Amino acid sequence: MFSEVKNVKFNNGLEMPMVGLGTYSRKAEPGQFRQAVEWAIELGYRHIDTASSYKNEVEVGEGIANKINEGLVKREDLFVTNKLWNDSHAKDAVVETLKESLRKMKLDYLDLYLIHWPISVNANGVDTAISYLESWKGMEEAVKQGLAKSIGVSNFNEKQIQELCDNAAIKPVVNQIEISPTLTQHPLVNLCRKLSVIPVAYTPLGLISEARPEFIGKDAIKTDAKLGEIAKKYGKTRAQIALRYLIQREIPVIPKSFTKSRIEENLNVFDFELAEEEMAIVDGYNINHRCVPGKSFEKYTYYPF
């Protein structure tokens, strides 16, 4: 049905499929996360992205277990990512927090565990300014105990990823950051490459996503005729062109959808190639616009943006 989904190779030799299912949603009906995961695996996804803060670990784990129990996939065929929330950054809290996520997901290990944000808070949301270098020692312990095969970070800026790489005994394999045609992030992507850290694109559809009516007026990418022509030429949608643009920059993507046809569409981006001038057109939609500015963290010591 699909041309083969490509993998990226980490600095530790392990690999990750370049398209994964994102699972964050502000609103969800009971069972919707489980259903999306099941459809995704049926349609050929082998990479699922979640986080303890998404409050869906039980359902995501059920979706995975159902497909394993049906014999469709084995655990080792899947790549599962989870993330450490900001309230568990103390070095000694990391392994226990990861174990709790594994219990909820009914898994023995994660393929990838990320520090979700560089900032740290206590249970009341007050800044505790625990250095991510300290949290990283807990992340390294998780690898030593076999609980996570690889570890990485998310939402780290240039200074933070450089500092972490300079100090880590086990190097981070990825920095999961917002990247899309409207937030191209070339400087941070280039630095990650120099450090052998894979940049992974969250919110890869950026302003194409219909869930963001609040950005009307900034979303020329949804209506611009040039992009329409490119999409028509390849028989693809605007969303697929955006994802393909990222993949051709060798950036893995984790689009989220609850809609079966879109879950299918988002994986179906390996049977065509954008020409150099088409890549430049898509790149030209950049307006450095963050859909996820983390505004509520703005006053914190390690706020990255």
Min dist CB 22 to ligand NAP, Å, is 2
Report helix, strand or coil for 237.
coil
Contacting range for ligand NAP; rule: CB under 6 A; set: 103-111, 185-193, 261-269, 277-285: 261-269
Min dist CB 205 to ligand NAP, Å, is 3
In degrees and rounded to multiples of 5, residue 241 shows phi and psi of -65, -40
Binds ligand NAP by CB under 6 A, chosen from 18, 94, 119, 205? 205
**With CB under 6 A, what is the number of residues at the site for ligand NAP?**
27
54 is catalytic: yes
Which residues ranging from 159 to 178 are in contact with ligand NAP (CB under 6 A)? 176
Which residues ranging from 274 to 303 are in contact with ligand NAP (CB under 6 A)? 292
DSSP β-bridge partners for residue 36 = none
- Contact flag: residue 258 with ligand NAP (CB under 6 A): yes
Min dist CB 88 to ligand NAP, Å, is 15
Per the CB < 8 A criterion, the answer to whether 57 and 289 are in contact is no
Closest to 49 in 3D by CA, of 65, 33, 35, 31 = 33
**Tokens 């086990």, located at residue:** 170
Number of CB atoms found within 10 A of residue 61's CB: 24
Binds ligand NAP by CB under 6 A, chosen from 61, 63, 152, 255? 255
Q: Taking CB under 6 A as the rule, which mask of x and - marks residues 134-153 in contact with ligand NAP?
A: --------------------
Active-site hit among 45, 54, 113, 202: 54
Count of CA atoms in the C-beta half-sphere (13 A) of 126: 1
- Contact flag: residue 23 with ligand NAP (CB under 6 A): yes
- Contact flag: residue 22 with ligand NAP (CB under 6 A): yes
Q: Alpha carbon 10 to chain centroid distance?
A: 15
- Contact flag: residue 257 with ligand NAP (CB under 6 A): yes
In degrees and rounded to multiples of 5, residue 230 shows phi and psi of -60, -45
**DSSP H/E element including 50:** none
Closer residue to ligand NAP (CB): 3 or 259: 259
Report helix, strand or coil for 114.
strand
Closest to 117 in 3D by CA, of 166, 153, 162, 81 = 153
Per the CB < 8 A criterion, the answer to whether 164 and 136 are in contact is yes
- Contact flag: residue 211 with ligand NAP (CB under 6 A): yes
* Catalytic center residues: 54
Interface residues with ligand NAP (CB under 6 A) are 22-24, 49, 116, 154-155, 176, 202-205, 209-211, 237, 239, 254-259, 262, 265-266, 292
